[in-house]
Structure 1
Amino acid sequence: MELPPEIGELTNLEVIDLEGTEIIYLPNEIVKLIKLSSLKVSFYRYANNYQERRVWVVTTSLSNLSRLHELRIDVNPDGDWWDVEVKTIIHDLCSLRELRTLKLYLPTIELLEELIRDSPSLICPALTHFRFIVGRQVERFLSRLPREVEEEFNNLEKSEKGLKYVNGEGIPIKIIEVLKHANAFSLEHHWTVNNLSEFGLQNMDKLKFCFLVECNELRTIIDAKQFYQEGDCEGDDSNESEQYSYFNEEKMVLGSLQYLSIHYMKNMESICQGSVGKGCLSNLKFLALHTCLSLTTIFTLKIAPRSLTFVDLKYSDSKSGHFLPNLKKILLLELPKLVSISNGLCIAPKLERMVIFFCPKLVKLSTMEVSSKDLKVIKGENEWWGELKWHESDLSSDHQDYLASMFVPLRRDGDLMAQFTKD
């Protein structure tokens, strides 16, 4: 819980790693460690009085640690005391000329604005690695997310540039400024956003990982109308062919994204609304949809008003398996209204694993949705598999037996999350 003041006598110390501990505060003597290059610390609880719970007391200044190359600070989000402390840290960051890695919790947008204002070159080009948590976090005693999903996001962010925006409203300009440089983006409990495109698809060109949780107003991920706006196109029916040409030739929609994980969306209707080019999500390897109560179809062939549309076959080479060409794993968990994956559209020629759990209306599949020669396993409930029908009326018994050989039943009496991820 505490470091003794004698730590200041270790003048040759270069690394302090206190991640995952229950440290209450750091002693003033930390500033004597002028050779320190890496400081990682977790503050997880209050002390009994205000003086003890001071993290950086008045006489302590990070600016003394001029050789600091890495600074990672975790904070338990159980009070507003950190708002004061982090201001001192933000003020000192501008003097840390060698800083390349920064992990920081910023409870308000104003603190992010202050950070960018005081150190405009910090995020780019100075920082090679960062993770910012922006917005007031609420501590949860029981996570509603699969543990493996949270761990994968945290592990990825150790080597990437990550932005986590929680309990937000609107699209603050400073969030956009950071998002432009981020490889990982987590959006949790946003109160007003209707689709991810509102953040500007051009601002997410570098994203490899996207994690979306409990955004109750979110209807879709990609809204094709955003393309018209970004490209100064009107989007009327009379110019439809020109619009499609514009999409296909110039727009690689989320072309760098490899991991898309979506959880607890009350009103989400689709992955995409409107038609986009075949380059859309072309590098996606993992797709997870978990408890999306209004989702009925993930990918469809039709283009109609209010339809759940992902791709128009006139502008994608579906027969050659070019749609979602790198998708390897798909998880469909607790989607009570889901009736179709792709309506027979040939997708994912490299698909290796498919997990389907509590999708009671998904009573039909097409071999075009499981056409990959690399497919190794289909996991689901025994009852679901026993009642499953195939769209193809001419499906041979040998082919059915071949698909059945890949099926692995999920046990309701076991650890479901462990079964989802186990090879």
Structure 2
Amino acid sequence: ESKIYTDYLLECWAAEGLVGGTNERRRFQDARDEGYDTLKHLTNVSLLEKGERMIYVSMNNSIRQVALYISSQDPDCKFFTGMSEDSSDFLEENDWQQSKRIAMIDKKLRDLPDSPDCSTLLSLLLQRNPNLTEIPQSFFEHMKTLLVLDLYGTGIESLPSSLAKLKCLKGLYLNNCIHLTVLPPEVGELFRLEVLDTRGCRICFIPFHIKKLVNLRCLRVSYYKSSNPNGCHDMDIDCNVIPFLAKLEELMIDVRSYDHWCKEVADIMSQVATLKNLTTLRICFPKSEVLKTFMQHSPSWKDRQQLTSFRFFVGCRNRKRPQILEYFKYKIDRYLGYCQGNHGDNSIICDLLPETDALELVEHKDITSLLDFVNVASFNRIRGCLIEKCNEMTTIADGDMVEGGIILPKLEQLHLTSLQSLQTIFRGTLSTESLSKLQTIVVSSCPMLRKLFSHGVIQQLSKLQKLVIQNCIKMEELIDEQVSTVFPTLETLILIEMPKLRTLSVDMSLTWPSLKELQVYKCPELKSLPFDKDNVAKLKSIETE
């Protein structure tokens, strides 16, 4: 019944060989792709329920019960789902002996047996048991077939020496074990390990013995340094470990100690740039110069068809969860967050923009429009754009300044927040391709905004479905030009805190052919609406104070 994150599920499938294995010719990404196709089929036939943007899936309880019954009849599929939620007892000895898979997730588990006989166990899932603080030293002694071990969110402070016995282990999840400060040398004995996740632990970075994990394909770590010398046992970081992980395809570094990261990122990224097989990279670049060096030297970056997924945070100190990605109904793979930039950085960013699907531009010091990035064609791939606190920006783009007038032809989502100098969103003459896929515009806290668009821009917005304007205190009219039909596909219009707004349109006969929902709050001067039964035939809801 719980959400199962797609990436995690596919990693477990790959570990058990359910979507084929990895080898010198078959990448980890290939296994992911095959598993993703299988998941799509299972959701299409309603055996699984698809979550938002396919980031997670879930299973209906009735189907789950049927699946558990079927698996209980087949010795090769023996699956034990643990105790009742209020129980803290051990599993019976037979349960350990006979189960292929054991899942005791969120079961208030406190203790584990000393050395259970688990000669056929493939997966052991113990996540979200914060009261489980200790694993007996010999606990893994008889788990030589184990492929997946998940200790996410447990209260463990250390890992036992018997961990070295897990010679077949392919997936090890230690994320959010907040009391774990050390990865013991025994981890280096897990030669077949393909996935290692230590995010949210108090382990500083990548311990030296990780270099033995030459088959590692996916590594997710936190960069952490404690102000307390006793709070982190791996203070001396040796980034020379990274090149030993030559098969690594997916790397995520979650920066928890930003100031320390700024001092060491150049050395770390010079080692990351040696990795030749990267397909996925999520990382923070405090300065654009570090990004430039990486792009110049990384063979993975130079092969644009190989590096299919990235999240780059450039100059972003505290931005960890990209907001713009939340607005899409499908998964966006290539994201750039660019914070506190200036004109000197723009040329570097321009080299990255043509590969970017979603952009967040925050607190740029001197940009007045997107055209300041020199080549507006760099934005042709952008599907989502969030611009926030760029206080010199007066317009997003001026079509008259662009030869051919093509601006943001693939843009679907546009979100503008706290732009102190913004006067209009788009101005000038635009080509028919410009903004032709734009579905959502959200504008918030832009105190100088008087006019949404210059004349002629409205006709470009043939796909616009949602328009939200909030706290734009100088706007008096939403539409100030004569057009017969406005926003032919607009379904939702939301207007909040617009103290000077007097009318939606100067043309009272304007038709709104698709409008279904109107919300108006704190707009005291808006006394009437230009609607009748003919020009808003599909209107179903008006919400106001």
Which position in structure 1 is the counterpart of 2:250?
A: 70
Which position in structure 2 is the counterpart of 1:195?
A: 369
| TM value normalised by structure 2 | 0.59
Which position in structure 2 is the counterpart of 1:306?
A: none
**2:395 is equivalent to residue 220 of structure 1:** yes
1:282–1:58 distance in 2 versus 1, CA, 3 Å: same
5 Å-filtered alignment, 1:76-225, equals 76=256, 78-79=258-259, 81-119=260-298, 122-125=301-304, 126-135=306-315, 137-139=316-318, 149=323, 152=326, 159-170=332-343, 171-199=345-373, 200-225=375-400
1:385–1:279 distance in 2 versus 1, CA, 3 Å: farther
**Counterpart residue identity of residue 362, structure 1:** L
Which position in structure 2 is the counterpart of 1:364?
A: 503
394, 409, 416: which one pairs with 2:544? 409
Mapped partners of 2:437, 2:464: distance in 1: 7
Residue 83 of structure 1: how far off its partner (Å): 2.6
Q: Aligned residues, how many?
A: 359
- Which has the higher mean CA deviation after the structures are superposed, 363-372 or 193-202? 363-372
**2:152 is equivalent to residue 17 of structure 1:** no
Mapped partners of 2:266, 2:410: distance in 1: 34
Contact residue 407 and residue 435 of structure 2 kept, 8 A: yes
5 Å-filtered alignment, 1:220-299, equals 220-227=395-402, 231=403, 247=404, 251-299=405-453
Residue 84 of structure 1: how far off its partner (Å): 3.6
- Which has the higher mean CA deviation after the structures are superposed, 182-191 or 333-342? 333-342
Contact residue 414 and residue 441 of structure 2 kept, 8 A: yes
Q: Which has the higher contact order (CA 8 A, sep 6+)?
A: 1
Contact residue 19 and residue 40 of structure 1 kept, 8 A: yes
1:332–1:370 distance in 2 versus 1, CA, 3 Å: farther
What secondary structure is seen at the aligned counterpart in 2 of 1:30?
Answer: helix
Contact residue 365 and residue 388 of structure 1 kept, 8 A: no
What secondary structure is seen at the aligned counterpart in 2 of 1:292?
Answer: coil
Residue 25 of structure 1: how far off its partner (Å): 3.0
| TM value normalised by structure 1 | 0.75
**CA deviation profile, 1:16-59 (whole Å, cap 9, x unmatched):** 23445554333222222211111122336634239948677227
1:338–1:59 distance in 2 versus 1, CA, 3 Å: closer
**CA deviation profile, 1:133-176 (whole Å, cap 9, x unmatched):** 112x3448xx9xxx9946616997x6321111111110432111
Residue 399 of structure 1: how far off its partner (Å): 5.1
What secondary structure is seen at the aligned counterpart in 1 of 2:355?
Answer: coil
335, 339, 348: which one pairs with 2:487? 348
**Root-mean-square deviation over aligned CA pairs:** 3.2
Contact residue 26 and residue 55 of structure 1 kept, 8 A: no
**CA deviation profile, 1:121-141 (whole Å, cap 9, x unmatched):** 615423111111112x3448x
Larger radius of gyration: 2
Unpaired stretches in structure 1, ≥5 consecutive residues? 232-246, 302-309, 312-317, 411-423
Contact residue 258 and residue 283 of structure 1 kept, 8 A: yes
Contact residue 466 and residue 492 of structure 2 kept, 8 A: yes
Mapped partners of 1:78, 1:331: distance in 2: 35
Residue 8 of structure 1: how far off its partner (Å): 1.9
Which position in structure 1 is the counterpart of 2:474?
A: 337
**2:528 is equivalent to residue 389 of structure 1:** yes
What secondary structure is seen at the aligned counterpart in 1 of 2:270?
Answer: helix
Contact residue 444 and residue 469 of structure 2 kept, 8 A: yes
Give the fraction of aligned pairs with identical amino acids, expressed as a percent: 27
Mapped partners of 1:97, 1:64: distance in 2: 11
What secondary structure is seen at the aligned counterpart in 1 of 2:445?
Answer: strand
**CA deviation profile, 1:266-310 (whole Å, cap 9, x unmatched):** 011111232222332110011110100100110243xxxxxxxx5
